[in-house]
């Protein structure tokens, strides 16, 4: 599904589940004043702030929101580089924008999270460069060489030198986890 035009006839709608669709940043909901539950899991939403501003305007009674599986929701399921700290900053920012939420994604909103969102939520917005291609072009025209831990002789791709080493370590198995549970009479 890519269009939500027909929803405007359901002005008393209370729950809306739009999981596993191709909804993107152009998502526009009609005004649904009674909507309290909205799930947008596994869609193609990447811009969080514009979505939250739109939701604050058109669904004022929203209490339950889930955005898991979207790039806008930073967690390990979507991106390996994201961690729990990224997800917690995301939660603070969402709670700053949508103050009536009681439940976000898979967790209930705690009193401590709500207090933190009031104080610092506006500063938890993730800022991305406007144009990644422009910044990479300016970096490639830079005369200085980027840092590399390799010695200067190995930076030249036309001059290859290999290194062969020999290790004298012998593994006896004394400290193996598997040997911890085997007794001598079982050998």
**134: pLDDT strictly greater than 70:** no
Q: Is residue 45 part of a domain?
A: yes
CATH of the domain at 29: 3.80.10.10
- Using the structure block, give the residue that is written with the tokens 């739109």: 54
Q: Is residue 145 part of a domain?
A: no
Q: Is residue 115 part of a domain?
A: yes
Q: Is residue 11 part of a domain?
A: yes
Q: Is residue 78 part of a domain?
A: yes
Closest to 31 in 3D by CA, of 52, 9, 3, 15: 9
Q: Where are the alpha helices (DSSP H) in 3-158?
A: 48-58, 84-97, 111-120, 132-140
Confidence of residue 54 (pLDDT cuts 50, 70, 90): very high
Q: Classify strands 37-39 and 107-108 as parallel, antiparallel or unpaired.
A: unpaired
Q: Is residue 129 part of a domain?
A: no
Confidence of residue 154 (pLDDT cuts 50, 70, 90): low
Query: What value does the mean pLDDT take over residues 123-141?
Result: 57
Instruction: Give the total residue count for the chain.
Output: 187
Complete edge-to-edge strand list for the sheet that includes strand 15-17 = 15-17, 37-39, 64-66, 103-104, 107-108
Residue-wise pLDDT for 75-118, tens only, equals 776 677 777 788 888 899 999 989 999 999 889 999 999 888 88
Q: CB of 96 within 8 A of CB of 90? A: no
Q: What pLDDT, on a 0 to 100 scale, did the predictor assign at position 177?
A: 61
Asked whether the CA dihedral 63, 99, 2, 74 is positive or negative, the reply is negative
Question: Coil, helix or strand for 15?
Answer: strand
Mean of per-residue pLDDT scores for the chain: 78
pTM of the complete model:
0.64
Percent of the chain with pLDDT over 70: 65
Q: Is residue 54 part of a domain?
A: yes
Number of structural domains (the chain) is 1
**123: pLDDT strictly greater than 80:** no
- Using the structure block, give the residue that is written with the tokens 């004022």: 60
Q: Is residue 177 part of a domain?
A: no
**1: pLDDT strictly greater than 60:** no
Range of the domain at 83: 5-124
- Using the structure block, give the residue that is written with the tokens 């939520």: 121
66 vs 136 pLDDT, higher one: 66
CA distances from residue 78 to 10, 42, 50, 83, 91 in whole angstroms, order as listed? 32, 9, 20, 11, 16
């Amino acid at each position: 599904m890519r269009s939500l035009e027909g929803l405007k006839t359901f002005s008393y709608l209370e729950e809306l589940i739009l999981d596993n669709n191709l909804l993107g940043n152009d998502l526009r909901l009609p005004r649904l004043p009674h909507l309290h539950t909205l799930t947008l899991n596994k869609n193609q939403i990447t811009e969080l702030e514009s979505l939250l501003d739109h939701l604050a305007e058109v669904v004022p009674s929203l209490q339950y929101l889930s955005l898991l599986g979207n790039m806008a929701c930073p967690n390990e399921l979507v991106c390996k580089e994201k961690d729990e700290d990224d997800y917690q900053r995301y939660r603070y920012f969402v709670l700053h924008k949508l103050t009536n939420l009681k439940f976000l994604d898979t967790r209930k909103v705690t009193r401590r999270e709500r207090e933190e969102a009031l104080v610092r939520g506006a500063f938890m917005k993730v800022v991305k460069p406007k144009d990644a291609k422009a910044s990479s072009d300016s970096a490639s025209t830079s005369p200085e060489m980027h840092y590399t831990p390799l010695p200067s002789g190995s930076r030249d791709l036309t001059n290859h030198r290999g290194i062969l080493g020999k290790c004298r370590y012998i593994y006896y198995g004394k400290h193996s986890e598997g040997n911890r549970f085997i007794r001598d009479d079982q050998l």
